Amino acid sequence: MNVQPTSETQKGQGDLTQVGIPLGKNPLAESRQQVIVATNQEAFFKDFLDFLSHDYDVVLTDTRRSVLDEPQKPRTAAIILSEYPSDLDARDFLRRLKQPGHCHPIVIAMGRQWSPWLTFVERQTSIDGVIYYESPVEHQIRTFGLLASRGVDYCIDELGDRAQAIWRLAKDLVGHIEAHMKTGQPVPRMAVRVLAQSAVEGPDEILLMDFLSKLRSHHHETLVHSLDVALTALLLGRHVGIRMKGDQYLLFEAGLLHDIGKTKVPQSILSKPGKLLPHELAEMRQHPEAGERMLLESGDYDKQVIFAAGQHHEKNDGTGYPRGLVGSQLSEIGRFMAVCDVFCALTERRSYRSKSSAIQACALLRPLVDNHLDGVLVERLIEMVYGYMAARQFSRDDWAVTA
Ligand SMILES: [Fe+2]
Ligand SMILES: [Fe+2]
C-alpha cells in the first residue's frame, strides 16, 4: 500500500490560502461543555472547582431541583450534587431525575466518604457516579472525566443511524478485546473487520468528520483515541488518493489497533495525570513492541497493521522509540500513523489538559515536520482539515474558540 500522496492529489498542496473558507454559522459550534455544580459548600472544594474550570464551563447554583427545568446547553457534561441528606431540595431533585422518560445529563454526587449524604445517594440508581472530597484532586478530575465521557453516547445519537452503528460496534469491540485479553486469546480479527467495514462502506467523509468532532470533545479514553486515529487514518488515506477498499480497510485497522499494546500497561500509569516518573515512562514506552507482539502472535493481521503498532512513536531523526529508527528505515504506514496519532492526541480532551482545536493542532504540527513527522503528510492533513472547514462552512474563528 502506498500512503504517499499521488501526483493528482498534490495539486495546491501547502497553499492553504487557495482553500476557500466562507464565513458562516458553524453547525457544530463547540463551546466548552458545561458542568453545573449544585452546592452551597463551594469553599469546601475550591481546588476541585478550579481544576474543573480548566476544561469546562462551571456554573454554580445552590438550587438543585431548578436545574432540570432550566434550558441547558445541549453539551452539558454533568451536574454535581454536593449536599447533606437532610436537604429536601436534593431529594426532590433525585425524585425528578428518576421520572420515567426524563432525559438528563450525567449526574455525579460529591461528598465525604462515609457521610450519610453519600450513603443516601449511592443507593440511587439514577446517580452516575460518586466523587469523594478526600481523594486527591487529580483523582477527582479523572473520575469525573471518565463519567463525563459517557456523554459521547448522547452526542453520537444526534448524528443518526450510521454514526450510531459505528459507535456501537466500537464499544462491542472493546468488550471483545477485554474478554479475550483476560483469557490470553488474540485480538479478535473478525470484530475488527466488522467495525472497519462499517466505517469504510458506510458514512461519507463529512459525516465521519462530524463524528470525530463530537468524539474529540469528550474525555480521553483508549476507545475514543483508537477510533479517532482509525477514522483520521481512513480520511487522510482517502484524501491522499487511496481508492482501493482493501487499503482503506488496512488503514482503519492499523489506526484502531496502533495502541493495542497499551492493554499491557497498568491502568495506574495509563491514566496518571501529569508527568510520568522515569520507570513509569519506560513501561509506557513498551507499548509499541507489546502491540506488535500481540498482533504477530494472533497470526491474523496484515504486516501493515503490525508496522503501525510498532512504529507510530518513531521519529524521522531517530529520536523516537522503541527502536530509534530514522525516516528511511520507517515503513510508510509507520510515518502515516505517527502523523495521525500526534494530530489526534492534540485534539482530544485529556484528564490533565484541554484539547486543542483542529486549527491549533495544525499549527502545532508544523514545527514537528522533518525532525519528527513526514512533512508532506502533515501538509495533506492540514489541507484536509481546512477542506472540511470549507465544506462545513466553519470560519477560522469558530474553530479557534473550541479549546
Ligand atoms: Fe502509542
Ligand atoms: Fe496513540
pLDDT digit string, tens, across residues 226-261: 888 999 999 999 999 999 999 999 999 999 999 988
What grid cell was written down for 173? 469491540
**Any idea which ligand is nearest the CA of 229?**
2
**Any idea which ligand is nearest the CA of 344?**
2
**Any idea which ligand is nearest the CA of 341?**
2
Task: Give 294 Cα–ligand 2 centroid separation in angstroms.
Answer: 16
Contact 360, 237 (CB under 8 A): no
Plot region of 27 (φ>0 → left; ψ -120 to 50 → alpha; else → beta) = alpha
**Any idea which ligand is nearest the CA of 262?**
1
39 versus 400: which is more confidently predicted? 39
Average pLDDT of span 152-163: 76
Average pLDDT of span 21-42: 55
CA distance 69 to 38: 14
Does residue 321 surpass a pLDDT of 90?
A: yes
Task: Give 315 Cα–ligand 1 centroid separation in angstroms.
Answer: 13
Task: Give 280 Cα–ligand 2 centroid separation in angstroms.
Answer: 17
Residue given cell 487499503 in the structure block? 247
Task: Give 34 Cα–ligand 1 centroid separation in angstroms.
Answer: 30
- State CA 216 to chain mean position distance: 5
pLDDT at position 57: 76
Average pLDDT of span 362-367: 91
CA distance 132 to 110: 6
Nearest 10 degrees: Cα torsion 226, 232, 233, 239? 170
Neighbours of ion ligand 1 (CB under 5 A): 259
Neighbours of ion ligand 2 (CB under 5 A): 259, 341
Coil, helix or strand at residue 12: coil
Does residue 19 surpass a pLDDT of 50?
A: no
Query: What's the pTM?
Result: 0.67
100 versus 302: which is more confidently predicted? 302
Of 22-26, 47-51, 151-155, 235-239, the least confident: 22-26
Plot region of 318 (φ>0 → left; ψ -120 to 50 → alpha; else → beta) = left
Average pLDDT of span 198-207: 84
Full 3-state SS string of 50-100: HHHHHHCEEEEECCHHHHCCCCCCCCEEEEEEECCCCCHHHHHHHHHHCCC
Where is 232: in which H helix or E strand? helix 222-239
Cα distances (Å, whole numbers) of residue 201 to 3, 159, 196, 236, 340: 19, 17, 8, 16, 21
Task: Give 225 Cα–ligand 2 centroid separation in angstroms.
Answer: 7
Task: Give 206 Cα–ligand 1 centroid separation in angstroms.
Answer: 26
**Any idea which ligand is nearest the CA of 285?**
1
Percent share of the chain, pLDDT over 90: 28
**CA neighbor of 314 nearest in space, from 333, 334, 290:** 334
Task: Give 288 Cα–ligand 1 centroid separation in angstroms.
Answer: 6
Task: Give 140 Cα–ligand 2 centroid separation in angstroms.
Answer: 24
Alpha helices, DSSP H, located in 258-374: 267-270, 278-284, 287-298, 303-311, 332-347, 358-365
Average pLDDT, the chain: 77
Does residue 148 surpass a pLDDT of 70?
A: no
CA distance 277 to 298: 32
Residue 212, classified by CB atoms within 10 Å of its CB into exposed (0-12), middle (13-18) or buried (19+), is buried
Task: Give 343 Cα–ligand 1 centroid separation in angstroms.
Answer: 12
* Cβ contacts of 268 within 8 Å, gap of 6 or more: none
Task: Give 252 Cα–ligand 2 centroid separation in angstroms.
Answer: 13
* Cβ contacts of 367 within 8 Å, gap of 6 or more: none
Does residue 78 surpass a pLDDT of 70?
A: no
Percent share of the chain, pLDDT over 70: 73
pLDDT at position 52: 77
Average pLDDT of span 168-185: 80
Domains and CATH numbers, the chain: 34-148 (3.40.50.2300), 158-400 (1.10.3210.10)
Does residue 299 surpass a pLDDT of 50?
A: yes
Contact 335, 228 (CB under 8 A): no
**CA neighbor of 233 nearest in space, from 213, 215, 253, 214:** 253
Average pLDDT of span 313-324: 95
**Any idea which ligand is nearest the CA of 311?**
1
pLDDT at position 253: 92
**Any idea which ligand is nearest the CA of 340?**
2
268 confidence band (pLDDT: 50, 70, 90): confident
pLDDT digit string, tens, across residues 82-104: 766 556 777 777 777 776 655 56
Task: Give 308 Cα–ligand 1 centroid separation in angstroms.
Answer: 10
pLDDT at position 121: 75
307 confidence band (pLDDT: 50, 70, 90): very high
Of 16-30, 174-188, 218-232, 300-314, the least confident: 16-30
213 confidence band (pLDDT: 50, 70, 90): confident
Does residue 402 surpass a pLDDT of 60?
A: no
**Any idea which ligand is nearest the CA of 232?**
2
What grid cell was written down for 356? 486543542
Cis peptide preceding 74, ω within 30 of 0: no
Any bridge partners for residue 83, and if so which? none
Task: Give 379 Cα–ligand 2 centroid separation in angstroms.
Answer: 20
64 versus 218: which is more confidently predicted? 64
Task: Give 177 Cα–ligand 1 centroid separation in angstroms.
Answer: 17
Task: Give 99 Cα–ligand 2 centroid separation in angstroms.
Answer: 41
Of 21-30, 158-167, 260-269, the least confident: 21-30
Q: How many C-beta neighbours within 10 Å does residue 119 have?
A: 12
